[in-house]
Amino acid sequence: MREVFQQELREVQDRLVQIAELVEGAIQGATRAFGTSDVALAEQVIDGADEVDQLASELDELTIDILARQQPVASDLRLMVGALRMSASLERMADLAQHIAQLARYRYPESAIPQGLRKTFVKMGDIDIAMSAKLVELLRAQEPRIIDEIRDLDDALDELHAKVFEKVLSDKISADATGVVDATLASRYHERFGDHAVNITKQMNFFLSGAME
Amino acid sequence: MREVFQQELREVQDRLVQIAELVEGAIQGATRAFGTSDVALAEQVIDGADEVDQLASELDELTIDILARQQPVASDLRLMVGALRMSASLERMADLAQHIAQLARYRYPESAIPQGLRKTFVKMGDIDIAMSAKLVELLRAQEPRIIDEIRDLDDALDELHAKVFEKVLSDKISADATGVVDATLASRYHERFGDHAVNITKQMNFFLSGAME
């Protein structure tokens, strides 16, 4: 029984890695589409979110199925609950990448990025991409040091999020109402993306400290 | 065993109702604080979100404990997973009410609401309050008709959300960058609040259709 459970746990892990890889691709595409007003790429990211939804639902079904058949208790049960929570966060991260791509599409052929904020959004995008790459690594290699790396990236992201508002409100940038709306939403989406990455590290932290006990 | 499970299920339900009532109070307070720049009320809502976090965590612990002890399968198992998801949505709704209250606090003694959008935000707030009141009713009375009522309210909310952007971008309102940022964020928070209410109706829909099978 235990061996079967271990095997099923690996299947859950593999699927989480697979979904995290799609999320990484989505935020890469969304960041590039947003930065370069690439509407074809934006469409691709928007369509891609459905695949993540589908895979996350299937993973949830598998997890509930394992719960029903294996009846895990203690830390194994918490792992399964953690998998449900990680899948929900990954699904939400794909939605947020989709929202960023939608901003690029709405404003096309204009840019969604107000003058003076381009560099800040490039940095935010790069951090989200780095976080999602590290999530893939964390889910695959399960090394605790990656948790700290992701949290450090989230701190840097929160600073940039605050900086966007500071700049928008300081008249240092020339933005009309559309630019301010886009900057506000894009910055919020990037920040939430990071929050969900941190949520996943919390689940993994339990997983890893539980496994080490 | 079945009887004990039914009793524990009622305990989960009671706690969901209790948390939903706090969420209703939070969005009521946040809406009033936002509309009237009542900073004392805003502080109260901001502090109150911690209580919801605490109760939601305790409910999650109870749910995981029931899963471990009762080992439910089939629809009972799905109910427990649904309870975890509902608790996550309620927690998030309290966070969103907190964010709305924070906007009121940041701008105090100014108003966070740009001229020309006051009525729209009063309507959005009223709809969120109505949705949360109906959630309490749904969780308590478990009547399927309430699900449709909540979804209709969400449609109305989405229309108002679109209207906020339309107004902000149309130069029909006089708003500086601060006003545009606040309107964008507040509208987004209200809309997400509604989305989470709808998420809960999805879980309850399963619960009710499962119970009727």
Asked whether the beta carbons of B184 and A180 are under 8 A apart, the reply is yes
| B56-70: pLDDT as tens digits | 999 999 999 999 999
DSSP at A172 = -
Q: What are the DSSP calls for A76-124, one per residue?
A: HHHHHHHHHHHHHHHHHHHHHHHHHHHHHHHHTTS-SSPTT-HHHHHHH
Low-confidence ranges of chain B (pLDDT < 70): 1, 172-174, 210-213
Chain A positions contacting chain B at CB under 8 Å are 60, 64, 67-68, 71, 73-74, 77-78, 81, 84-85, 88, 165, 168-169, 171, 175, 177-178, 180-181, 184-185, 188
Per-residue confidence in pLDDT tens, chain A, 213 aa: 689 999 999 999 999 999 999 999 999 999 999 999 999 999 999 999 999 999 999 999 999 999 999 999 988 999 999 999 999 999 999 999 999 999 999 988 888 888 889 999 999 999 999 999 999 999 999 999 999 999 999 999 999 999 999 998 887 666 788 899 999 999 999 999 999 999 999 999 988 886 543
Candidates B184, B196, B206: best to mutate against A (most CBs of A within 10 A) is B184
* Distance of residue A40 Cα from the nearest chain B Cα, in angstroms: 24
Cα–Cα distance, B111 to B150 (Å, whole number): 29
Q: How many CB pairs under 8 A join A and B?
A: 58
Cα–Cα distance, B198 to A64 (Å, whole number): 22
Cα–Cα distance, B66 to A104 (Å, whole number): 46
* Distance of residue B177 Cα from the nearest chain A Cα, in angstroms: 6
Q: Which residues of A touch B60 (CB under 8 A)?
A: 81
- Domains by residue range for chain B, with CATH: 2-212 (1.20.58.220)
* Contact assignment for B181 to A168 by CB distance below 8 Å: yes
Q: Which residues of B touch A68 (CB under 8 A)?
A: 73-74, 77
| B10-48: pLDDT as tens digits | 999 999 999 999 999 999 999 999 999 999 999 999 999
